[in-house]
Amino acid sequence: MPLGRSRWHVLDILRPPNSDGLRRGRRRCLAGPTHGWQVTAVDISVTALERTSAHGSAAGVSDRLTTGQHDLARTFPTGTFDLISAQYLHTLLEFPRTRILRRAAHALTAGGLLLNVDHGSVRPCDGTPTARPA
């Protein structure tokens, strides 16, 4: 993480469609603006983004929260980010997870951090082992 920077630009990649759990990204992406960070939250779902914006307004951080609709299999947000959060990108649908994470890594500023959290080697939605990127 770039030290000495008081205002980080964060990209929060919300969960893919039909993922293995409830969308919890709203709380996660609202934590950043309360610390003065500029957060861009992306999702394929307009409804999820509308809810994220509403939560941002209610928390008084809408000036530091931007939302954008992206099908990450086709489009990716432009710009560079100090922190990219990609948590639990699991789905039973065809989803180019490795390609998306590589695009995310290329969108980092020098010294930036890609936070990728998953369930390990087994997808909880169906119990089968997942392929690990090389």
Residue 134 CA: distances (Å) to CA of 60, 88, 112, 120:
41, 18, 21, 15
Asked if 92 contacts 77 with a C-beta cutoff of 8 angstroms, the reply is: no
Average pLDDT along the chain: 77
Q: How far is CA 48 from the centre of its chain?
A: 13
Confidence of residue 99 (pLDDT cuts 50, 70, 90): very high
**pLDDT of 102 strictly over 70:** yes
Residue 127: Cβ-neighbour burial (10 angstroms; 0-12, 13-18, 19+): exposed
* pLDDT grade for 68, boundaries at 50, 70 and 90: very high
Q: Considering the entire predicted model, what is its pTM?
A: 0.76
pLDDT of residue 18: 39
What is the C-alpha to C-alpha distance for residues 38 and 125, in angstroms, rounded to an integer?
Answer: 33
pLDDT at 25 > cutoff 50: no
